[in-house]
């Protein structure tokens, strides 16, 4: 169920944000070619669609190109990281929730259908994993992750945190939720997460942006 996301999108819209929620390539329900377009490269054509969406907002709605943000959970968290790391200047801020940072450590049957076996196609895994592109971070990044996540394990975020520290990046923050699995169960956790995302956007792309 995504009712909380719909609610949060409505909150953003009510505060004056233009909200675009699109079915990028790799999504279900659009046919085989659409679904398989990410074969061997997650964070490729699917991310192109996100970038095209941002450009559409600028061209058709007059959105300020320096005030575009992005957020998402699970695969959406992964694609947010890829956007922040590999498309500098397109997205000013991003919130990656429970994100996959290295596909080699994720659910093997799911990943192997898209990227093949890790030992057979290391190129596909490397070009699809955000942790290898963390040096490209220029915008503001928020990472949120439950520490008892049994789908995308918290170690994915822990490894990325260490990488950002090694790179001496300062424009990021992380919120850890000690009792939460992949889909948060506690209302106070959901509230805290959305409060942090809203604060990030207000400070970077909203009416109260700093600087």
Buried b (16+ CB within 10 A) or exposed e, 46-83: bbebbbeebeebeeeeebeeebbbbbbbbbbbbbbbbb
3-state secondary structure of 144: strand
User: How far lies 75's CA from each of 17, 70, 112, 168, in Å?
Assistant: 23, 13, 15, 26
In DSSP notation, 34-75 reads HHGGGTT-TTSHHHHHHHHHHHHHHHHH---TTS-EEEEETH
The pair phi, psi for residue 121, each rounded to 5°, is -145, 65
Tokens of 206: 């909203």
173 has which bridge partners? 142
Active site residues: 74, 149, 182
Residues 111 and 96: their CA atoms lie apart, in Å, by 19
Query: Which residue(s) pair with 52 in the sheet?
Result: none
């Amino acid at each position: 169920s995504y009712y909380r996301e719909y609610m949060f999108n409505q909150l953003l819209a009510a505060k004056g944000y233009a909200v675009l929620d699109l079915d990028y390539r790799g999504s279900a329900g659009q046919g085989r070619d659409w679904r398989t377009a990410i074969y061997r490269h997650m964070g490729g054509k699917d991310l192109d669609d996100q970038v095209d969406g941002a450009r559409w907002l600028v061209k058709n709605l007059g959105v300020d190109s320096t005030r575009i943000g992005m957020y998402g959970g699970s695969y959406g968290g992964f694609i947010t990281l890829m956007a922040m790391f590999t498309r500098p200047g397109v997205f000013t801020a991003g919130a990656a929730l429970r994100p996959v940072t290295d596909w080699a450590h994720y659910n093997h049957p799911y990943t192997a259908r898209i990227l093949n076996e890790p030992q057979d196609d290391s190129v596909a895994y490397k070009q699809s994993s955000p942790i290898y592109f963390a040096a490209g971070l220029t915008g503001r990044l928020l990472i949120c992750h439950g520490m008892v996540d049994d789908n995308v394990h918290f170690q994915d975020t822990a490894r990325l945190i260490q990488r950002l520290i090694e790179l001496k990046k300062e424009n990021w923050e992380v919120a850890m939720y000690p009792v939460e699995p992949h889909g948060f169960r506690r209302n106070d956790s959901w509230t805290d997460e959305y409060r942090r995302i809203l604060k990030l956007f207000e400070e970077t792309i909203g009416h109260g942006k700093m600087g």
